[in-house]
Amino acid sequence: MTYEELPDEWKEWLDLTPIERFRESEKIFANYLAMGGSLDPDPDPTSPFYAPEEWRPDAAHGRAGLRILRRGAG
Amino acid sequence: MGGQACVFYGAAQVSKDIDLVLFADADNYERLLAAMRELEARRIAVPPFDIPALERGHAVHFRCSAPGVEELRVDVMVRLRDLPPFSLLWERRTSFADDTGLTFDLLCIPDLVQAKKTQRSKDWPVIELLVDIHYRENAGEPRPDWIEFWLSECRSPELLIEIVHRFASQAHSLGPRRPLLAAAKAGNHGALATALDAEARAEMAKDRAYWEPLKRELEAMRRAERQTPS
């Protein structure tokens, strides 16, 4: 995606200084954690570091605070 | 390096972990381990913290548990595919400082772009954005090495067409190294998009080939760890 195609919110992000971006990122990160976000890496079979057996299966994707009660078929 | 560097440069808004590239030196390893102790970090997954393994290109993964950084992952590498030794990466790093004097030393954008050329599909849009941002911020005062960087790495068809026409002689010189510049010069969007896609797929295949022996080692390490009584 080119700069011109970016949404306004992202253009505002690019208008910040690098240090301002880092500080804002810290706030986003804190909110993510407050909402129960997981720090596990996203499951990515294309990564050389991905090992399914090391994946923590009790964490729903992206939300460690959520527990899977039932898995759908397939 | 990694996602945190992308945050500073504007190509990402958040990263869930911290990736460090480290100078391979005994004193430096001691400093790293002291920092990991302070963060109450334990090594997770394979490989173990093993200097020869790091120097072969492996990443060592830690998870912190100190108050304030619980669960935060830190990945450490000392060697990156197709990138020069640490001393050169350090020499051309980008440093930012905040108003408290805290300094952040990052891979420069061209090195970060190279580091992001992985087999992971999620890295490629980030490369595109990093180059676009670099061009946008520096197009007013182009340096010869930046022109070469934009012509070599730009992945946005529209922007690449613009750059090729703006720097026609440099594009001509780089043509043998990046044949798709001819499609950009011709303004052939379809051919250019196809060639950019093929270029990414070739680089992903190169990364997979680089990691193949390392992945075999990782699998052997996992087997050995499973067989070791805890």
Q: What is the CA radius of gyration of chain B?
A: 20
Count of A-B CB contacts under 8 Å? 87
CB < 8 Å from B in window 14-53 of A: 14, 16, 18-19, 21-25, 28-29, 32, 37, 39-41, 44, 46-49, 51, 53
Q: CB of B10 within 8 A of CB of A13?
A: yes
pLDDT digit string (tens) for B51-84?
999 999 999 999 999 999 999 999 999 999 999 9
pLDDT digit string (tens) for B199-217?
999 999 999 999 999 999 9
The answer to whether residue A67 scores a pLDDT higher than 50 is no
pLDDT grade for B13, boundaries at 50, 70 and 90: very high
What ipTM score was computed for the predicted complex, to two decimals?
0.89
Query: Helix or strand or coil: residue B47?
Result: coil
Phi (first) and psi of residue B85, to 5 degrees: -60, 160
**How is B187-201 classified by DSSP, letter by letter?**
T-HHHHHHHHHHHHH
Q: Give A-chain residues touching B133 at CB under 8 angstroms.
A: 3, 14
Q: Which two tokens stand for residue A21?
A: 């971006």
- Cβ within 8 Å, pair A39-B17: yes
Burial class (CB within 10 angstroms; exposed 0-12, middle 13-18, buried 19+) of B216: exposed
The per-residue pLDDT for A56 is: 58
User: In terms of pLDDT, which residue wins out, B203 or A3?
Assistant: B203
Q: Which two tokens stand for residue B165?
A: 């026409």
Q: Which two tokens stand for residue A41?
A: 């890496």
**Integer Cα distance of B115 and B107 in angstroms:** 9
What is the bridge-based pairing of β-strands B73-77 and B17-21? parallel
What is the pLDDT averaged over residues B19-27? 93
